[in-house]
Structure 1
Amino acid sequence: MSVNSRFGRPVTDSADLVVHGRDAMPGAAAREVVVPGDKSVSHRALLAALLPTAPPVVTIAGANLGGAVRALLPAMRALGWSVEGDRTALVVRRADRPVAQTPRPHPTGGRWPDGVPYVQTEGSSAAARLLIGVLAGTGVDAVVDGDDVLRHRPMDWVVEPLVALGAVIDHLGEPGRLPVRVRGKVWRSGSVELLVGSAQARSAVLLAAVAARLPVVIKHPVRSRDHTERMVAAFGARLTESAHELRYDGGGDEVPGFFDVPADPSLAAYPVAARLLWSCEGETTVPGVCLNPTRLGFFEVLREAGADIRYTDERTGATGERVGSIVVRGGLNGVESVRVVDAAVLHSLIDEVPLLAAVAARLPGRSWIGCAEELRFKETDRLDTTARMVTAFGGRVEPAADGLTVVGGLPLRAGTVPGFEDHRVAMAAATLAMAVPGTTRVTGGACHRTSFPGFVEVQRHVGASVTEEARC
């Protein structure tokens, strides 16, 4: 067992990742690697199938099938949709009858509402928050719940603006947390102001408004991922955006019957980082990646610092996303440090902060990753767990309330490194271990399946020596 650093509770270890590090990339490494579909786009495509204007059958090609997306599939079945398919495509259609989920124990020891669908989203905050928005927009009465960790993550970011638009949402346990019952539809047009820059909060409100054809103004503190905006605009919804405001006029939209999900830039970051950490000649290409500007912060920060990273073969996909190849050449020679001092930049790499810190540990200078206080409310307190992960390699990280200072130039060593059952931290640790000679064991590292089920295979294609091993 290990301990979740945010909540102090034991969690079940998955298998470890064992990495045999080396100084340089082997000559036989593949020069092109393919990563799974984008997790954020996959979530939104699945939820679009629940909107009133969706056709009877929706096919989603290339969906990410990691645990975070799979958590949404039983939830959709409990609401009366069937979801079938494999890694090639998922097919969503209205089912003859819902497939009930077994409820978890009620948080107060009470009874779940009779005759109301119980919808379990496991540990996926995106599935829970966006689903709450869809339910509030369609007027479907349901209970939305999550696992022990998700029950402790904030939901008031989503619930409060929806209630301001007329939705009736009851907290069935701790205020501001899951489980919640959505039992009343949004109906009051107007303006809402989000207290955080969370793309999940903004997306939940927008999906509710689009489902209900409700004009709304969403004010937000910082621009973050805009996959939902791009998708509903591609459906025909009329949006107007400025730096801190999004307007939807309540007009029509039509959900298509086919989605083609581009590859995930957050997952492309790992083979790109491996190439950079090895500081070798040649190049590696990751094709078909979502090049949404609100997702490219990891690459842009490194480009600004001097890394040779380019985008090629760019085009616009059917969901309104820019798609193309990411090409990285050489390594980190000449890169002294990295700096993140803008909130919008931070949000464009929010999932890659552990990986950026790992890369920064190999640089000679002092790096700063700021505007990151939201990371304290992820699967773990990622400022804390990232710092502890890098420190386990012999690096030095100075946490602050809203960020991390990474002190470079120190010799790193292989050993046993905690993954904290957090997929982003574990994958960052395994990637850094590839460039640290010796054998490193990332405890619980197989939690990468949450977002990147093919992580081990992709990194092997790049040239890594990494295996999953069950702990004795």
Structure 2
Amino acid sequence: MPMTSSADLTVDGGRTAGVSDPLTVTVAGDKSVSHRALLAALLPGAPELLTVRRANLGGAVRALLPAMRALGVAVDVSGDTLVVRRGAAPVPQPVRPHSGVVAWPEDAPYLQTEGSSAAARLLLGILAGTGLRAVVDGDEVLRHRPMDWLVDPLRVLGADIEYLGEPGRLPVLVAGSVHRPGRVDLAVGSAQARSGVLLAAVAAGLPVALRHPVRSRDHTERMLAAFGARLTESDGEVAHQGGDCVVPPVVDVPTDPSLAAYPVAAHLLWGHGGELRVPDVCLNPTRLGFFDVLRTAGADISYEGRGTTTGGEPVGTLVARGGLGRVRRVRVDQPAVLHALIDEVPLLAAVAATLPGESWIGCAEELRFKETDRIATTAGMLDAFGADVAAVDDGLLIRGGAPLRTGEVPAFEDHRIAMAAATLAVSLPGRTTVSGGACHRTSFPDFADVQRAVGARICEDTTS
């Protein structure tokens, strides 16, 4: 088991008595939308003062704040509200040593994004569009994750981007902006890569057509269109027609469906009946794969009361009733479905381990390049519970019905693995220790509080 730096989570199985019915819980804002709303302050059409309400303030979004300040954009945090002001004095970040870099460019701000791939990739796109010269870097884990998915198409559009260490990896120097209109092809279905190119095109006012192999989350397209960007979409392609966009002074962030999945899964795993409601959830179809797969398999999940945010996102109330008694197995064998639940794969696999029948989660090669190799770490986490799971090149095969046990389960310092393990543990008799499980703060600082609100007995072990 790997060494961990985060505190452990301790979970005692079973649901506390006295949980109300129907039960309503509030979940943090969407991480993906929070990143994009914050970076919108760097677009040419942004106001001097931008307010982002109900932002997700987990570690992944907070990783972007020092980088923004180093670019002369002040960011003040008040509760879950970010107040972003342009034209402030830059606050330099300390440079993290790198054995492969002989000398850092002295005339470029150094932007450290820690372990957040979204922060790094979206920031690269904004820089390449605005022509802001800067170095983008990450922690030791992020330095090993691929960046060529984004850098190559940006170079096709004329951007001057230099790898300062290993080719295809951070750190990189963005030295010149995109300036050639045209068509580019993405090698992967990553929403981060597609979003980086689109942000560059819109920031530069550049006509660009972008071919992509699979439909994945489209928060960037929705937000830019809501801001007035001239976007058109067809099968496998999104195009920016050129011109400006105008960022409104206030952007509202909807509840994160990836985070809502954890209390919903706990509610369904207990199967005690009753109704759980999560309001203001982002109902973007490219984010609802976890719920839609379970709905197709027989779970009673519905969406009510739809509206739209200032960032162009559909929102409403997510409702889960009853348990998983009618669900026999789950199956994911289409790339678009996989991308609609890509962050919830560990959780869906954990739920599948409790179901009778053989479940399959495929088309998931991209998971090899997340914070961890999530195919391998999901399998390792479930194996610690005693589940019958096999990891293959592009997915996971879970044979449900094997007796599951409690005990010590690794989180592999991956927030998604940690939260999936803790959620599965609430349905099992006995005590489970999720080692390093407090890494959930990366995306869901209030994870334990929300799970306790729906009846879980979970706490952070401050003695570890």
Q: Same fold (TM over 0.5)?
A: yes
**Displacement after TM superposition at 1:89 (Å):** 1.0
Shift of 1:88: 3.2
* Corresponding residue for residue 303 of structure 1: 295
Q: Does 1:400 align with 2:392?
A: yes
Matched, 1:47 2:39: yes
Question: Which residue of the other structure, out of 188, 199, 203, is the alignment partner of 2:180?
Answer: 188
Residue 442 of structure 1 is matched in structure 2 by 434
TM-score (norm 1): 0.97
How many residues are matched?
Answer: 463
- SS of the aligned residue for 1:41 comes to helix
Take 1:354 and 1:108, find their aligned partners in 2: how far apart are those partners? 34
Q: For 2:243 and 2:317, locate their aligned partners in 1 and report how far apart those are by CA, in whole Å.
A: 35
Aligned to 2:62: 70
CA contact (8 A) 2:224 2:245 kept: yes
CA contact (8 A) 1:29 1:461 kept: no
What CA distance in whole angstroms lies between the structure 1 residues aligned with 2:369 and 2:241?
Answer: 33
Asked if the contact 1:316–1:323 (Cα under 8 Å) also holds between the matched residues in 2, the reply is yes
Out of 370, 378, 381, which is 1:389 matched to?
381
Counterpart of 1:167 in structure 2 is 159
2:121 alignment counterpart: 129
Q: Quote the residue 1:259 is aligned against.
A: 251
Contact 1:25 1:280 in 2 (8 A): no
Contact 2:101–2:164 under 8 Å retained in 1: no
The match for 2:19 is: 28
Deviates more, 1:100-109 or 1:31-40: 100-109
Equivalent position of 1:379 in the other structure? 371
Structure 1 distance, partners of 2:137, 2:77, is 25
> Equivalent residue for 2:455?
463
**Contact preservation (8 Å) 2:57, 2:80:** no
Q: Give the Å deviation of 1:416.
A: 0.3
Q: Counterparts of 2:318 and 2:74 in 1: how far apart (Å)?
A: 35
Q: Deviations over 1:207-263 (max 9, x none)?
A: 000000000000000000000000000011111112200011002210111011010
Counterparts of 1:135 and 1:279, CA distance in 2: 49
Encode CA deviations 1:24-49: one digit per residue, 9 max, x unaligned.
Answer: 56342570100000000000000001
Q: Deviations over 1:345-401 (max 9, x none)?
A: 000000000000000000011100000010000000000000010111111101110
Mapped contact 2:384–2:408 kept (Cα < 8 A): yes
Q: 2:120 corresponds to which letter in structure 1? A: A
Q: 2-side partners of 1:462 and 1:406: how far apart?
A: 27
Cα pair 1:224 1:347 within 8 Å, conserved? yes
Give 1:107's aligned residue: 99
The match for 2:314 is 322
1:109 shift after superposition:
4.6
For each residue in 1:63-86, what CA deviation from the matched residue of structure 2 results, as whole angstroms up to 9, or x when unmatched? 000000000000000111100022
Asked if structure 1 preserves the Cα contact closer than 8 Å seen for 2:411 and 2:418, the reply is: yes
Cα deviation, 1:377-432, whole Å, max 9, x if unaligned, reads: 00000000000101111111011100000110111111000000000000000000
Q: Does 1:237 align with 2:229?
A: yes
**C-alpha RMSD of matched pairs (Å):** 1.1
Post-superposition CA distance 1:124-166 (Å, at most 9, x none):
0000000000000000000000000000000000100000000
- What TM-score does the superposition give when structure 2 sets the normalisation length? 0.98
Give the superposition deviation at 1:334: 1.2
Structure 1 stretch displaced more, 449-458 or 312-321: 312-321
The letter for the 2-side match of 1:26 is: A
Q: Which runs of 5+ in 1 are unaligned?
A: 4-9
Task: Name the residue aligned to 2:332.
Answer: 340
